[in-house]
Amino acid sequence: MSASSPDGPSPLRKLAWTVGAVLIAVLILFPVVWMGLMMIKPTDAMFARPTVWLFTPTLEHFDYVVERGFHVYLLTSLVLGAVSTLLVVIIGTPAAYAFARFEMRFRDDLFLFILATRMAPPVCLVIPYYLIFAKLGLLDTFLGLTLAYMTFNLSFYIWVLRSFCRDLPVELEEAAMLEGWSRLAVFRRVVFPLLRNGIIATSVLCFIFAWNEFLFAFMLGGKNVHTLPVAIPTLITAQGVRWGEMAVVGMVALTPVMLAVFLLQRHIVRGLTMGAVKG
């Protein structure tokens, strides 16, 4: 006997799926909730056994973080991630479209070379970057770190967006050009609107990569340009790990990514599933 009716799943199956989804959500959100409690929990109650659930909230961890200038590091990471991602979109979108549509000599070889720059371990690239930036006077500068972030994200962006461009029906572009539109007008008025979801999905991933990046920021940054991932290890002191302050910084670091994904989730889902269903 089938467990579901012709009209859809049975109520028991719906209940089972609901309970399973709730359990998965609890497992995923529990570390975030625990970290949120650590932000306002006094130090003496943080590791008490048994676990203390009722306590007087404190803001001492926030005061320490602000006094050490972590809000400046947060702003630096935000600006670096946003500016580098914007440059990647401006440069990478026409490049991905060109790789998808135009015939050129050694196109596959050139595309493989671009992809190889992303596949190489970052530690293999950071030393040449350091030597080049030292010669050009770009070490510990906002411009230098922006260029570094843009470079390692550009290859990923072109690689992903090229597949989106290839999924677009070329007949739309040909019809527009038969109407007398130039290639630039076709790209701006036909291709770009169709690629919007793919561009948003890929650019969000690029921003997350830049936001979480540590090695390049550590090696190429310094006193003047200090990002949040580089500043977090300073909370490990000779007296021990400042867990409350680390929870504050962790929640702050998690917030921009969660907001971006929440606000743009519709475009991200559409972009990531672009071309998955063929008519």
Domain extent listing, the chain: 1-58, 61-272
Angstrom CA distances, 23 to 26, 139, 261, stand at 5, 48, 22
Give the pLDDT score at 109. 75
Measured CA to CA, the distance from residue 19 to residue 58 in angstroms comes to 35
Q: Count CB-CB contacts under 10 A for residue 219.
A: 19
Q: Which of 6-15, 139-148, 161-170, 249-258 ranks highest by mean pLDDT? A: 139-148
Per DSSP, the residues of 70-95 read HHHHHHHHHHHHHHHHHHHHHHHHHH
Give the pLDDT score at 269. 67
Q: Of the candidates 188, 194, 189, which has an alpha carbon nearest to the alpha carbon of residue 168?
A: 194
Q: Is 5 helix (H, G, I), strand (E, B) or coil?
A: strand
Measured CA to CA, the distance from residue 196 to residue 260 in angstroms comes to 16
Q: Of the candidates 218, 238, 239, 236, which has an alpha carbon nearest to the alpha carbon of residue 227?
A: 218
Instruction: Spell out the CATH class of 61-272.
Output: mainly alpha
**Phi and psi torsions of 47, nearest 5°:** -115, 25
Q: Which residue has the tokens 């209940």?
A: 15
Q: Full-prediction pTM beyond 0.85?
A: no
Beta-sheet pairing, 240-241 with 236-237: antiparallel
CA 147 to chain CA centroid, Å, is 17
> Whole-number mean pLDDT of the chain?
84
| Residue 132: pLDDT over 90 | yes
| Predicted confidence (pLDDT) per residue in 92-121, tens digit | 999 888 888 887 777 777 777 777 777 778
Q: Of the candidates 134, 35, 153, which has an alpha carbon nearest to the alpha carbon of residue 89?
A: 153
| Residue 270: pLDDT over 70 | no
Give the pLDDT score at 103. 78
Helix 142-167 × helix 70-101 angle, to 10°: 40
| Predicted confidence (pLDDT) per residue in 195-215, tens digit | 888 888 889 889 999 999 999
Give the pLDDT score at 267. 64
| Residue 164: pLDDT over 80 | yes
Angstrom CA distances, 25 to 22, 31, 48, 265, stand at 5, 11, 27, 17
CA 23 to chain CA centroid, Å, is 26
State the pLDDT confidence band at 8, using cuts at 50, 70 and 90: low
Measured CA to CA, the distance from residue 48 to residue 215 in angstroms comes to 35
* pLDDT mean over 65-93: 93
Q: What is the DSSP code (8-state) at residue 227? A: -
| Residue 268: pLDDT over 70 | no
Give the pLDDT score at 276. 45
